[in-house]
């Protein structure tokens, strides 16, 4: 796997841009899925300190290549994530907000796909659209997920309520919930956030 930017052709017909980073030992490989309106740059801080190779990508309709505005289904977003993860051989995954919804949808279909997963600020709203992130997948479908999971939430975040993260953590057989005291941990608690993610994915 060569470091830098690449373009992946997918079964959906929507090519996906991804970026490979990481020095030293090439394993494990972790894929990072950004939130609504985000991009590779917004998820890269979440990979600081994570061992092995790190792969960041753009969901369809984000940055490059452009996709006409549309309503996206969980299957669409999970397909994007699966295409990248399978291509690079990822054994770990982190999903942020919209990315957490996509990761849940993928796990509901393939509960043994990853060895460890991080769900950062999961949200529960209506069907995914350009102006809002998708809801967390049906909790009942997550009961067979085999991977240990770290669910990260923060207080006073209206878009990502702690209650949603709690319910998600309760639905996963091997989940740990960590709640930050203030919103926007990337800005308000960056060191603690990085430590939580890096230490969990290093196991």
Residue 138 is predicted with a pLDDT of 58
Q: What is the pLDDT of residues 4-48, one digit of tens each?
A: 999 999 888 888 999 999 866 778 999 999 998 889 999 999 999
Domains and CATH numbers, the chain: 4-202 (3.40.50.1820)
Least confident of 22-26, 51-55, 72-76: 22-26
The predicted pLDDT at position 135 comes to 47
Per-residue pLDDT at 140 exceeds 80: no
What contacts 96, CB < 8 A, 6 or more positions away?
32, 33, 34, 35, 38, 42, 43, 46, 120, 121
Average pLDDT of every residue of the chain:
87
Per-residue pLDDT at 176 exceeds 90: yes
Rounded to the nearest angstrom, the gap between the alpha carbon of residue 98 and the centroid of all alpha carbons in its chain is: 8
Tens digits of residue pLDDT in 182-197 = 999 999 999 999 999 9
94-112 pLDDT per residue, tens: 999 999 999 999 999 999 9
Rounded Cα distance between 150 and 122, Å, is: 11
Separation CA 67–CA 18 (nearest Å): 16
What is the CA 27 to chain-centroid distance, rounded?
19
Contacts of 185 (CB under 8 A, 6+ apart): 152, 154, 192, 193
- Average the pLDDT over 41-61 and give the result: 93
pLDDT: which is higher, 151 or 130: 151
């Amino acid at each position: 796997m060569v470091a830098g930017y690449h373009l992946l052709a997918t079964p959906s017909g929507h090519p996906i841009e991804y970026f490979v980073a990481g020095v030293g030992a090439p394993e494990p490989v972790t894929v990072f899925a950004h939130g609504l309106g985000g991009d590779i740059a917004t998820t890269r801080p979440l990979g600081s300190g994570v061992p092995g190779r790190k792969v960041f990508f753009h969901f369809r309709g984000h940055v490059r290549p452009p996709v006409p505005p549309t309503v996206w289904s969980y299957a669409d977003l999970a397909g994007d994530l699966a295409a990248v993860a399978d291509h690079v051989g990822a054994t770990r995954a982190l999903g942020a907000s919209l990315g957490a919804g996509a990761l849940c949808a993928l796990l509901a279909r393939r509960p043994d796909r990853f060895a460890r997963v991080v769900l950062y600020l999961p949200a529960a709203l209506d069907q995914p659209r350009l102006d809002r992130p998708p809801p967390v997948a049906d909790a009942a479908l997550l009961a067979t997920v085999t991977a240990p999971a770290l669910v990260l939430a923060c207080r006073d975040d209206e878009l990502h309520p702690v209650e949603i993260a709690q319910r998600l953590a309760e639905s996963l057989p091997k989940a740990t919930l960590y709640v930050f005291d203030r919103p926007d941990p990337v800005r308000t608690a960056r060191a603690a956030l990085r430590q939580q993610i890096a230490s969990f994915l290093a196991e």
